[in-house]
């Protein structure tokens, strides 16, 4: 597969990512920073999709758009069985407001560049290769993220996705119609032989290790809980310190308890457990009133179910203790559970072998965030590769991956796709 490397064209990849960065480009004070706002259904989003569709057709791929706007281009190599399940690769084109230029587009255009390199190198393949861009991965505009991949894998219905609305009350179905991407085709990961997604790491593990490529072992599971702490609102001046039931001082202890539980769990299980109390709503939220009620949103993640359960039970224990020690009333509602998703051993092995072929150093690591690969893993074998993020910045104009690192990760992706599309390899 070494001969393939010479055909991965870093400049061609860069041109596609830079072209996409121009759609919704954000002015930043820093001349070295590049930001973009590419909201699903916006004019910038239509232009990014049009550009992709043109590039796919130009490379000889047949393009399909499904009812939620997922775009897939399929290439049937000479000598491959057109009926064989394709190997798919891609990511997303949408961004968070003022997000970075690599989060999403790198994975889409690395997949396309891999196809172009495979074509140019005239590598013999047994299976078609599909390049895919999923709709509304970020959930910045419609819904809570992974919208296109969850519809494609059947976790969410087309109707439910179309009914999602943005802040202005426009539905996703309307938005897709307006930009011309409410298609009638089918993008169905259960018909794929496997899926490989290249994404920026959004952390500093690769940078610290000096590795060019990360091969994700597991996408962590995630639990969201809503907590209420009820005390008694009262006058901040007229109520003695020993005569208060302050909901916020109790909630503050809860915040610390969740943090401690995550640190201890990660330590004891040698896992990636994290726990965050990311939102607090204090009422009545007035400087001269003792807080009577606090609502807290808790986010708990780990690569093992056991780690998540430990932090959840520590959070419950904390509330029980606060009821005893501080006289508050509490409620605990665990309303979202996503199990940890292990990545495919077969595709991880293909990625590691491709990295070795490219003499690129790769390391195994867990993913910090969810990605489309997490949803696709419900339907077929999935793998997730990371390219280094300078300083770990993402969802920010500070997000940066060196062009040479983009190209090297794409070489690894191309090698892994080639191996996956070759039967008996
Ligand atoms: Co992303």
* Cα-to-centroid distance, 372 and ligand 1 (Å): 8
* pLDDT for the residue numbered 2: 63
Please say whether the beta carbons of 374 and 219 come within 8 A.
yes
Backbone angles phi, psi at 114, to 5 degrees: -60, -45
* Cα-to-centroid distance, 296 and ligand 1 (Å): 26
Using the predicted structure, report yes or no on whether residue 130 has a pLDDT greater than 90: yes
Give the 3-state secondary structure of residue 141.
coil
User: At which residue do the structure tokens 């994404």 appear?
Assistant: 199
* Cα-to-centroid distance, 110 and ligand 1 (Å): 14
Q: Which helix (H) or strand (E) holds 2?
A: helix 2-5
Gap between the Cα atoms of 75 and 58, Å rounded: 11
Q: DSSP letter at 390?
A: G
Using the predicted structure, report yes or no on whether residue 374 has a pLDDT greater than 70: yes
Region of residue 96 (left: phi > 0; alpha: psi -120 to 50; beta: else): beta
Residue 256: how many CB atoms within 10 A of its CB?
Answer: 12
* Cα-to-centroid distance, 375 and ligand 1 (Å): 13
* Cα-to-centroid distance, 406 and ligand 1 (Å): 15
* Cα-to-centroid distance, 92 and ligand 1 (Å): 7
292, HSE (Cβ side, Cα atoms, 13 Å): 9
Give the 3-state secondary structure of residue 9.
coil
* Cα-to-centroid distance, 299 and ligand 1 (Å): 19
* Cα-to-centroid distance, 91 and ligand 1 (Å): 7
* pLDDT for the residue numbered 28: 81
* Cα-to-centroid distance, 139 and ligand 1 (Å): 10
* Cα-to-centroid distance, 282 and ligand 1 (Å): 32
Query: Cis bond leading into 284, ω under 30°?
Result: yes
* Cα-to-centroid distance, 198 and ligand 1 (Å): 10
**Percent over 70 (pLDDT), the chain:** 99
Could you state, in order of their start, the residue ranges of all structural domains in the chain? 2-220+340-420, 221-338
Using the predicted structure, report yes or no on whether residue 412 has a pLDDT greater than 80: yes
* Cα-to-centroid distance, 371 and ligand 1 (Å): 6
* pLDDT for the residue numbered 14: 98
* pLDDT for the residue numbered 146: 95
* Cα-to-centroid distance, 54 and ligand 1 (Å): 22
Alpha-helical regions (H) of 156-219? 158-162, 172-179, 205-209
* Cα-to-centroid distance, 154 and ligand 1 (Å): 20
Please say whether the beta carbons of 80 and 193 come within 8 A.
no
What strands lie across the sheet with 87-92, from one edge to the other? 62-65, 71-75, 129-134, 87-92, 194-200, 382-387, 213-216, 362-365
pLDDT-based confidence at 1, cuts 50/70/90?
low
Higher-pLDDT residue of 144 and 159 is 159
Q: What is the mean pLDDT of residues 327-352?
A: 95
* Cα-to-centroid distance, 350 and ligand 1 (Å): 22
Give the 3-state secondary structure of residue 415.
helix
Please provide the average confidence, as pLDDT, over all residues in the chain: 96
Nearest Cα residue to 221 out of 301, 307, 333, 311: 301
* Cα-to-centroid distance, 26 and ligand 1 (Å): 18
For domain 221-338, say whether CATH 3.40.1360.10 is its number.
no
Instruction: Tokens for 86, please give them.
Output: 């394709």
* Cα-to-centroid distance, 374 and ligand 1 (Å): 12
Gap between the Cα atoms of 136 and 56, Å rounded: 20
Using the predicted structure, report yes or no on whether residue 153 has a pLDDT greater than 70: yes
Q: What is the CA radius of gyration of the chain?
A: 24
* pLDDT for the residue numbered 425: 62
* Cα-to-centroid distance, 310 and ligand 1 (Å): 28
Please say whether the beta carbons of 47 and 23 come within 8 A.
yes
End-to-end CA distance of the chain: 11
* Cα-to-centroid distance, 107 and ligand 1 (Å): 9
Give the 3-state secondary structure of residue 320.
helix
pLDDT-based confidence at 277, cuts 50/70/90?
very high
Contacts of 291 (CB under 8 A, 6+ apart): 231, 233, 246, 247, 248, 249, 251, 282, 283, 284, 285
Residue 99 vs residues 16, 40, 137, 247: alpha-carbon distances, Å: 17, 13, 13, 36
* Cα-to-centroid distance, 241 and ligand 1 (Å): 48
* Cα-to-centroid distance, 122 and ligand 1 (Å): 31
* Cα-to-centroid distance, 79 and ligand 1 (Å): 34
* Cα-to-centroid distance, 132 and ligand 1 (Å): 14
Give the 3-state secondary structure of residue 356.
helix
pTM, two decimals, is 0.86
Q: Which of 1-5, 82-86, 181-185 has the lowest mean pLDDT?
A: 1-5
* Cα-to-centroid distance, 323 and ligand 1 (Å): 41
Residues, Cβ < 5 Å to ion ligand 1: 103-104
Using the predicted structure, report yes or no on whether residue 123 has a pLDDT greater than 80: yes
Q: Length of the chain in residues, anyone?
A: 425
E strands, 111-265, are: 129-134, 194-200, 213-216, 218-219, 221-230, 234-235
392, HSE (Cβ side, Cα atoms, 13 Å): 9
Gap between the Cα atoms of 108 and 13, Å rounded: 10
Using the predicted structure, report yes or no on whether residue 288 has a pLDDT greater than 90: yes
Please say whether the beta carbons of 387 and 412 come within 8 A.
no
For domain 2-220+340-420, say whether CATH 1.20.1440.230 is its number.
no
Tell me the pairing of strands 221-230 and 329-338.
antiparallel
Using the predicted structure, report yes or no on whether residue 258 has a pLDDT greater than 70: yes
Higher-pLDDT residue of 31 and 352 is 352
Gap between the Cα atoms of 192 and 88, Å rounded: 7
* Cα-to-centroid distance, 369 and ligand 1 (Å): 9
Gap between the Cα atoms of 4 and 117, Å rounded: 7
Q: Which helix (H) or strand (E) holds 301?
A: strand 293-302
* Cα-to-centroid distance, 86 and ligand 1 (Å): 23
* pLDDT for the residue numbered 404: 96
* pLDDT for the residue numbered 27: 87
């Amino acid at each position: 597969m070494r001969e393939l490397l010479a055909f991965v064209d870093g400049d061609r990849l860069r041109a596609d990512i830079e072209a996409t960065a121009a759609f919704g480009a954000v002015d930043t004070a820093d001349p070295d920073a590049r930001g973009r706002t590419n909201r699903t259904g916006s004019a910038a989003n239509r232009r990014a999709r049009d550009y992709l569709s043109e590039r796919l057709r130009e490379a000889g791929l047949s393009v399909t758009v499904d009812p939620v706007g997922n775009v897939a281009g399929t290439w049937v190599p000479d000598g491959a069985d057109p009926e064989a399940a394709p190997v798919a690769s891609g990511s997303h084109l949408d961004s968070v407001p003022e997000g970075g230029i690599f989060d999403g587009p790198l994975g889409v255009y690395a997949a396309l560049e891999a196809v172009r390199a495979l074509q140019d190198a005239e590598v013999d393949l047994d299976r078609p290769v599909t390049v895919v861009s999923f709709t509304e991965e970020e959930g910045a505009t419609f819904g809570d993220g992974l919208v296109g991949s969850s519809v494609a894998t059947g976790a969410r219905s087309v109707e439910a996705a179309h009914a999602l609305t943005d802040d202005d009350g426009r539905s996703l179905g309307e938005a897709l119609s307006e930009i011309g991407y409410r298609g009638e085709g089918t993008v169905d990961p259960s018909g794929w032989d496997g899926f490989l997604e290249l994404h920026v790491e959004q952390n500093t593990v690769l940078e610290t290790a000096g590795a060019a490529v990360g091969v994700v072992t597991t996408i962590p599971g995630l639990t969201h809980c809503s907590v209420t702490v009820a005390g008694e609102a009262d006058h901040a001046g007229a109520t003695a310190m020993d005569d208060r039931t302050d909901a916020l001082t109790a909630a503050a202890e809860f915040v610390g308890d969740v943090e401690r539980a995550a640190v201890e769990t990660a330590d004891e299980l040698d896992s990636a457990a994290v726990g965050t109390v990311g939102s607090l709503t204090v009422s009545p939220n007035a400087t001269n009133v003792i807080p009577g009620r606090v609502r807290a949103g808790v986010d708990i993640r780990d690569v093992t179910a056991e780690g998540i359960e430990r932090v959840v039970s520590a959070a419950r224990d904390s509330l029980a203790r606060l009821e005893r020690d501080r006289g508050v009333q509490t409620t605990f509602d665990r309303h979202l559970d996503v199990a940890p998703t292990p990545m495919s051993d077969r595709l991880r092995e293909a990625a590691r072998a491709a990295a070795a072929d490219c003499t690129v150093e790769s390391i195994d690591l867990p993913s910090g965030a969810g990605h489309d690969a997490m949803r696709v893993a419900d339907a077929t074998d999935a793998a997730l590769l990371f390219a280094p993020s300078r300083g770990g910045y993402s969802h920010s104009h500070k997000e940066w991956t060196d062009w040479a690192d983009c190209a090297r990760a794409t070489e690894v992706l191309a090698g892994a796709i080639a191996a996956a599309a070759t039967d008996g390899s």
